[in-house]
Amino acid sequence: MNRHHWWRDAVIYQVYVRSFLDSTGDGIGDLAGVRAGLPYLRKLGVDGIWLSPFYPSPQHDHGYDVADYRDVDPVYGDLDEFDRLVASAHRLGIRVLLDIVPNHCSSEHPWFREALAAAPGSPERARFHFADGRGPDGSEPPNNWHAMFGGPAWTRVTEADGRPGQWYLHMFTPEQPDWNWRNPEVADEFDQVLRFWLDRGVDGFRIDVAAGLFKHPELPDSPDPEADARTRDSVNPLAWNQPEVHDVWRHWRAVCEEYTARDGRERLLVGEVSVPSAREHAKYVRPDELHQAFFFDLLGAPWDADAFRKVISEAMQDIAGTGSTVTWVLNNHDQVRTVTRYGEPAEGSGLGAARARAAALLMLALPGAAYIYQGEELGLPEVVDLPDDVLTDPIFRRTGSRARIRDGCRVPLPWSGQASPFGFTSGAEGAKPWLPQPEYFAEYATHRALADTRSSWHLYRDGLQLRSALHQLGEGTLRWLDTQPGVLAFARGDDLVCAVNFGTAPVPAPVPGTPLLSSGPCRPGELPGSTAAWWIDGS
Ligand code: GLC
């Protein structure tokens, strides 16, 4: 490779704006709060931030229901505050990615309101998927697709004359109508939206549901609608991963390149791509498409050496093998946090916390880019006991089950102090975070983490520092080393060996000497259970 592209081994921090830091005292995080937190992120050593959606939205899905793609919701600030945030981030060397939501908008979006007011067959309706129902009176949905968040993927509208009329498609909630990407007006609109934000200086976009957008042109029945509904993954083969979507990413890449040609700054497109295999995934990161796509198989792997080895090997072969880099992720705003996920079923034993730290060190040693979700660096567990009446996830409302709900990983961050709101909100006494914080969050507050060199925060900070010292850690491949069962070890060039003990009993370390960095205390020559370590050449 002739030139290093910053994004190939970047570490990006996901800011869930609503829960990061509240500057106004209303109990909801905001853009000014993010700006106030930048020095903290600079200290941590990340290359950039991805901001979850802050656009005007009725918040049926916390901003993933966008009513206006070119503004800031007053709850989060305004465009001037946004500009200040980007300027401050850039001064600190932190790049800024926005979250763009092209698969669907909000039912409050002006174009959808126009579509509702217009007649069947009108150009206004052609921007979405409107169709007549089945059955003699059209009272059955046009096909059998399920929505991802429960219930059918179609909702019937009432026409201007007051009679029940056509149906519209929404792969998530009814408040999130899907755009019709076969209509060129939609593509043009998004082209303009990208340029609007690029002109304001952003460094790129995280693309929501990037395997979505196009549906099978005839919207036929799904062969197995029950399977489509079983997980939150995009499995309906007629609704996701249609070949036409790749043309959109080629176009968006060209728009980014156009801006780079003007000012030399490389922009980054990272897709949320849920597809059935690493090979399918690789298609999204071909050289003229997205720069990155989250590789979710690592996140989905159980705490097991063979499972980790399998998904890592597949990614290296099928994705990195094509010349792209792999984008690793262990946590995000949709998933149970690693500390809790790896702790099950023995929760409370500290095992989950130890494993989460080990997994983080493993992720940071892998070739490619990595994303950290806010609070992960603090070792925050999932809040599993939020009472029903505070839950806001539409999945809970639509399925009536807590099984897949996401509020528990979105509880506002603790910054300082011994009691909620732990410095999260600057509001007067009594100001309440939008989701209640448990008392034990005191142990994880950033002030405490920074002061304690054994904290997860220090592990992440040290790992990030070493990554940048080992120039271009994101490039190249890895070589598996022979180990006993239950242990993974790999070398990265001549520089680094990383080993992880997935078991609970200590094993002989694969490298002599004391590791330079480890996720828990290590004696020379030994790798304790649930621990990862790095040995650096010459250390
Ligand atoms: C993505 C987002 C998720 C959102 C969904 C619908 O999966 O990460 O939070 O609910 O898309 O936009």
Structure tokens at 450: 């920074």
Instruction: Report, as an integer, the average pLDDT of 342-360.
Output: 87
371: three-class secondary structure by DSSP:
strand
Q: Which atom of ligand 1 is nearest to the CA of 334?
A: 9
Give the strand pairing for 164-169 and 130-131: antiparallel
The better pLDDT of the pair 517, 428 is held by: 517
- Expressed in percent and rounded to 5, the helix, strand and coil fractions of the chain are 30, 15, 50
Residue 376 scores a pLDDT above 60: yes
**Lowest-pLDDT range of 57-71, 211-225, 242-256, 334-348:** 334-348
- Please indicate whether residue 172, judged by its CB atom, sits closer than 6 Å to ligand 1: yes
Tens digits of residue pLDDT in 162-202: 999 999 999 999 999 999 999 999 999 999 999 999 999 99
Of all residues in the chain, the percent with pLDDT exceeding 90 is: 87
d(CA 192, CA 100): 12
Instruction: Report, as an integer, the average pLDDT of 193-215.
Output: 98
Residue length of the chain: 539
Query: DSSP letter string over 433-490?
Result: -SSPPPGGGGGG-HHHHHH-TTSHHHHHHHHHHHHHHSTTTTSS--EEPP--TTEEEE
Q: Which domains does the chain have, with CATH numbers?
A: 110-169 (3.90.400.10), 478-536 (2.60.40.1180)
- Give the count of alpha carbons within 13 A of 154, CB side only: 22
pLDDT given for residue 232 in this prediction: 58
Selection from 467, 441, 514, 488 nearest residue 367 by Cα: 467
Residue 357 scores a pLDDT above 80: yes
Selection from 496, 492, 391 nearest residue 436 by Cα: 391
Mean of per-residue pLDDT scores for the chain: 94
- Please indicate whether residue 209, judged by its CB atom, sits closer than 6 Å to ligand 1: yes
- The DSSP secondary-structure symbol of 134 reads B
pLDDT given for residue 349 in this prediction: 72
Residues identified as active-site: 208, 258
Instruction: Report, as an integer, the average pLDDT of 274-280.
Output: 92
Own/partner pairs, 29-33, CB within 8 angstroms, 24+ separation: 29/76, 29/412, 29/424, 30/75, 30/76, 30/77, 30/81, 31/72, 31/76, 31/77, 31/81, 31/82, 31/85, 32/77, 32/81, 32/84, 32/85
d(CA 459, CA 467): 12
If you measure from the C-alpha of residue 481 to the centroid of ligand 1, how many angstroms do you get, rounded to a whole number?
38
Q: Which atom of ligand 1 is nearest to the CA of 149?
A: 10
Residue 2 scores a pLDDT above 50: no
